[in-house]
């Protein structure tokens, strides 16, 4: 189980902050949840994200679903990568 936090300050005066948690099993299967807060002048608004991932022999496949925002509601994301 791991947690993360992030903060941003933009030149236009906007602020953003994010918190997230990830649960990993055997460094192979992952479940994730996170929340991003964005002020009215921030580049991205506030949203909730839910995700899952699989890693095997250096390859990884990650999936996320974003909600709780007018701009991002219902957005799906898919990432594919390789670590060496």
Per-residue pLDDT tens over the stretch 44-65: 788 899 999 999 999 999 999 9
Alpha carbon of 2 to those of 32, 46, 60: distances in Å? Answer: 10, 22, 18
Q: What is the tens place of the pLDDT at every residue in 8-27?
A: 998 888 899 999 999 999 98
Query: What are the DSSP calls for 39-66, one per residue?
Result: -TTSSS--EEEEEEEEEETTEEEEEEEE
State percent of the chain over pLDDT 70: 100
Predicted pLDDT of residue 72: 75
Predicted pLDDT of residue 17: 94
pTM of the model: 0.79
Predicted pLDDT of residue 38: 87
């Amino acid at each position: 189980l791991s947690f993360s936090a992030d903060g941003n300050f933009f030149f236009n005066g906007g602020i953003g902050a994010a918190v997230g948690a990830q649960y990993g099993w055997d460094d192979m299967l992952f479940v994730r949840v996170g929340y991003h807060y964005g002020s009215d002048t921030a580049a991205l608004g506030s949203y909730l994200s839910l995700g899952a991932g699989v890693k095997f022999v250096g390859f990884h496949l990650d999936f996320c679903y974003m909600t709780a925002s007018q701009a991002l509601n219902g957005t799906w994301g898919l990432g594919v990568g390789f670590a060496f």
